[in-house]
Amino acid sequence: MHASPPVGDGGIGVIRGVIFDLDGTIADTLPLCINAFRLAIEPLADKTLTDEEIIATFGPSEEGTIMALVPEHYEQALADYLQYYQVLHYHCPQPFEGIVELLEFLQHQGVRVAMVTGKGPQSTTISLNTFGISHYFSPIETGSPHGPIKAECIGKVLEGWGDMEKEEIIYIGDAPSDITASRNAGIPVISAAWAPTADAEKLIALAPDELFYTISEFSDWLKLHINHKD
């Protein structure tokens, strides 16, 4: 078991709002994304694609990935991708262990919970409905086919949560870009390194406020930083 290193400067006080990423934070959905992309795009592109070629297009939503790889077959590829994504979701039927319990706890404590993901709206809906957890998140901000917009989406959440200070809200995500987006939005960022696809070294290099290798560690830390009602 890893020990979480002191990667940031700490100093986080009472947390009243938590914004979650989806892929790699809520569930191990990245392999599902890659498989669905390969099945949808390879027949139309008439070539095989490596994981690296697919991942290199990430940042925009899946619509942007498809536009980058098979722009001449955009409509067909997007329809096929979403079909495969839904059909193959049985490979990832549940969130990571402990996520639902954490969401329940936050709801019970009156902590606001939102989602900001780079996924498109349709695949986000598919995953949240599969997991049965969409009702925990308000608002849910999704990605853009034109490029990364997480910082702007975090800003929208902050605007909606206008009665809270920025230091009372955290973002939790598994990618280096999540750290950058949170910094640009001006809120503390927690790195999730519990997915098999997470690269802890890259996360540590960007000095998030905290980094956790397990959901239980994150949950324990979060419980110390929320405004308990009891």
pLDDT in tens, 186-214: 999 999 999 999 999 999 999 999 999 99
Q: Is the pLDDT of residue 17 over 90?
A: yes
**Residue 7, pLDDT score:** 45
Give the CA distances from residue 193 to residues 76, 86, 112, 117, 207, in Å, rounded to whole numbers and listed in that order. Answer: 35, 26, 23, 17, 13
> Higher model confidence: residue 10 or residue 69?
69
The reported pTM is 0.93
In contact, 25 and 8? CB cutoff 8 Å:
no
| DSSP secondary structure letter of residue 115 | E
pLDDT band at 12 (very low <50, low <70, confident <90, very high): confident
pLDDT band at 3 (very low <50, low <70, confident <90, very high): very low
Q: Is the pLDDT of residue 2 over 70?
A: no
Homologous superfamily (CATH) of 17-28+95-223 is HAD superfamily/HAD-like (3.40.50.1000)
Handedness of CA 187, 196, 95, 120 (dihedral sign): positive
- Residues 125, 123: Cα–Cα separation, whole Å: 5
Give the CA distances from residue 47 to residues 52, 69, 107, in Å, rounded to whole numbers and listed in that order. Answer: 14, 11, 47
Mean of the per-residue pLDDT values for the chain?
Answer: 93
Handedness of CA 200, 201, 203, 208 (dihedral sign): positive
**Residue 81, pLDDT score:** 97
Burial class (CB in 10 A: 0-12, 13-18, 19+), 98: middle
Q: Is the pLDDT of residue 25 over 50?
A: yes
Pick from 187, 149, 184, 193: which is nearest to 171 by CA? 187
The string over 191-228, giving b where at least 16 C-beta atoms fall within 10 Å of a residue's C-beta and e elsewhere, is: bbbbbeebebeebbebebbbbbbbbebbbeebeebbee
For residue 119, is it left (φ>0), alpha (ψ between -120 and 50) or beta? beta
Q: Which pLDDT tens digit goes with each residue over 111-156?
A: 999 999 999 999 999 999 999 999 999 999 999 999 999 999 999 9
- Residues 65, 150: Cα–Cα separation, whole Å: 16
Local structure of 191: helix, strand or coil: strand
In contact, 174 and 21? CB cutoff 8 Å:
yes
| DSSP secondary structure letter of residue 57 | T
